[in-house]
Amino acid sequence: MSEQISTLPARSATSPVNRIPLATYRLQLREGFGFEQIRELLPYLQTLGVSDLYLSPLFRARENSTHGYDVIDHGQIEPAFGGREAFVRMAEEARVRGMGVILDVVPNHMGVNDGGNRYWRDVLENGEAARWADFFDIDWDAIPLNLKHRVLLPVLGKPFGATLEAGEFRVVYDDHRLQLEYFDRRFPLAPRTWTAVLQLVSQGLASESEEVVAKSRDAGIERAELDSIISQLSHLPPCDQRGGMSMRERYREQRIARRRLGHLVDKRPQVHQA
């Protein structure tokens, strides 16, 4: 059987970047089929007469994504596809063969079911005054009134009260933050609300018997530092204050409080156990 060669007009490596594609070939990126694998296919695709490679979304998506449309970071090329260097190698070889690359960009939605989405986590943690609040289309003046300045997430498998009574919520400390754990998902808690949890820890340290306290000279220091952190967090600007000074103060004091709390948890066994 003779080889079928495309009769489409050949194009040189100096073909303009912005032009009308003649024949596109859609390629679904996934783990195990990334830029290097596409680069190896270029000679074959060229014989087919393909003028442009049409790639599925290539930005970093949520873990185990099968399609790439649930992007979590528009500033990073998905490492599982080979990263930026592999993409550049593939694109440069395609250009040498006179082929273009079309990207399926997803600017109007993101995947939020992944802890790697720092933009969404920032909004959950800092609300209306988050640095990335305007990155999302959120109605902060919603009706009913109890949803004003809040984000409603449809993630529970049953009504809130039933979920609470079933003990399906846990407050955990991870990544130097207090977070709400619901099965395999975690949501960062607003730092001003940490005080309710930390006050319970402080009370627990205070209620230790005198014998235990006598054996641990650090107990008083731990509680004093913890109470100082509670005071610091309680004075954070509210999340509905979006002014520049309030925002700078909120992020600065959060960062300092997280570092101080992390030191207590890492270095003080009694705080870690609490």
Share of the chain above pLDDT 90, in %: 61
| CATH for the stretch 24-103 | 3.30.750.90
Q: Where are the domains of the chain?
A: 24-103, 115-152, 190-274
How confident is the model at residue 219, as a pLDDT? 65
Sign of CA dihedral 20, 24, 26, 32: negative
Peptide bond into 154 cis (omega under 30): no
pLDDT, mean over the chain = 87
How confident is the model at residue 20, as a pLDDT? 86
User: Are the C-beta atoms of 257 and 233 separated by less than 8 Å?
Assistant: yes
In the sheet that 169-174 helps form, which strands lie side by side, from edge to edge?
A: 169-174, 177-182, 185-188
* Neighbouring-strand partners of residue 59: 77
| pLDDT surpassing 90 at residue 124 | yes
How confident is the model at residue 206, as a pLDDT? 75
- Give the rounded distance of the alpha carbon of 85 from its chain centre: 23
How confident is the model at residue 16, as a pLDDT? 60
How confident is the model at residue 274, as a pLDDT? 61
| 3 state DSSP class of 237 | coil
In the chain, which ranges are E strands? 24-27, 52-55, 59-61, 71-77, 100-103, 169-174, 177-182, 185-188
CA-nearest of 85, 72, 77 to 55 is 77
pLDDT band at 4 (very low <50, low <70, confident <90, very high): very low
pTM across the whole model: 0.79
How confident is the model at residue 6, as a pLDDT? 42
pLDDT digits over 65-104, tens only? 889 999 999 999 999 999 999 999 999 999 999 999 999 9
pLDDT digits over 9-45, tens only? 445 445 566 678 999 999 999 999 999 999 999 999 9
How confident is the model at residue 1, as a pLDDT? 42
> With b meaning 16 or more CB within 10 Å and e meaning fewer, what string describes 96-128?
eeebbbeeeebeeebbbebbebebbbbbbbbbb
| 3 state DSSP class of 123 | helix
pLDDT digits over 178-234, tens only? 999 999 999 999 999 999 999 988 888 777 645 555 555 666 778 889 999 999 999
How confident is the model at residue 96, as a pLDDT? 94
- Choice between 229 and 269, residue whose per-residue pLDDT is larger: 229
How confident is the model at residue 23, as a pLDDT? 95
| 3 state DSSP class of 116 | coil
pLDDT digits over 161-180, tens only? 999 999 999 999 998 999 99
pLDDT band at 132 (very low <50, low <70, confident <90, very high): very high
Share of the chain above pLDDT 70, in %: 87
CA distance 78 to 165: 40
Tokens 């979920």, located at residue: 163
How confident is the model at residue 214, as a pLDDT? 55
The pair of three-digit structure tokens given for residue 202, joined into one six-digit string: 């402080």
